[in-house]
Amino acid sequence: MERIHVSTRSPQCMEDITAQVSDAVRRSGVEEGICHLFVTHTTAGLVINENDDPEVVRDLLEKLEALAPSDAAYHHLEGNSHSHIKSSLVGQSAAAPVAGGRLALGRWQAVFFAEFDGPREREVLLQVVAARATETPAEELSRERQAEP
């Protein structure tokens, strides 16, 4: 398991963490599998969407604010109930495929840490699971040894 640290810069924002995720996938040594991301917070989430035009995530943040306004009345009295709701709408976890030892995102996709109660120091847990256990290097090695006379 790896931990990705994210310093978010405003109350509600999307921080692009694709580079850190890609690096961790390469370090894992997994050729084929799934990269799991998990936010350990309850007022933030993960979004995989376009980073080419920053207006895309701006529109998403504005829509989430329209759906769960930060200044509306809520039962939870800490002032961040809207953040908990936004977190549950986009989700605290994400998964993306690993192929050829690389994070296999689509051409326009990026991984964003979605901050709904910042700015804060945040953390994402990352784990890479191999799709076929018998293809990991250690396994290959043990099979080769068995094949030797």
Residue 130's SS3 state is strand
CA–CA gap between residue 135 and residue 82 (Å, rounded): 45
| Cα–Cα distance, 34 to 128 (Å, whole number) | 6
Tokens for 75, please give them.
Answer: 């039962």
The binder of a copy of itself chosen from 18, 22, 23, 97 (CB under 8 A) = 97
Count interface residues toward a copy of itself (CB under 8 A).
Answer: 66
For a copy of itself, the binding residue among 13, 22, 36, 120 (CB under 8 A) is: 36
- Crossing angle of helices 81-90 and 55-67, rounded to 10°: 120
109 touching a copy of itself, by CB under 8 A: yes
User: What's the 3-state SS for 101-126?
Assistant: CEECCCCCEEEEEEECCCCCEEEEEE
Piece of 4-12, 17-25, 74-82 that binds a copy of itself (CB under 8 A)? 74-82
Q: Is 103 in the site for a copy of itself (CB under 8 A)?
A: no
Rg (CA), the chain: 19
Least distance to a copy of itself, CB of residue 90, Å? 6
Residues that bind a copy of itself (CB under 8 A): 1, 32-34, 36, 38-42, 47-50, 53, 55-56, 58-60, 62-63, 67-68, 74-78, 81, 84-85, 87-97, 99, 104-109, 125, 127-134, 136, 138-139, 142-143, 145-146
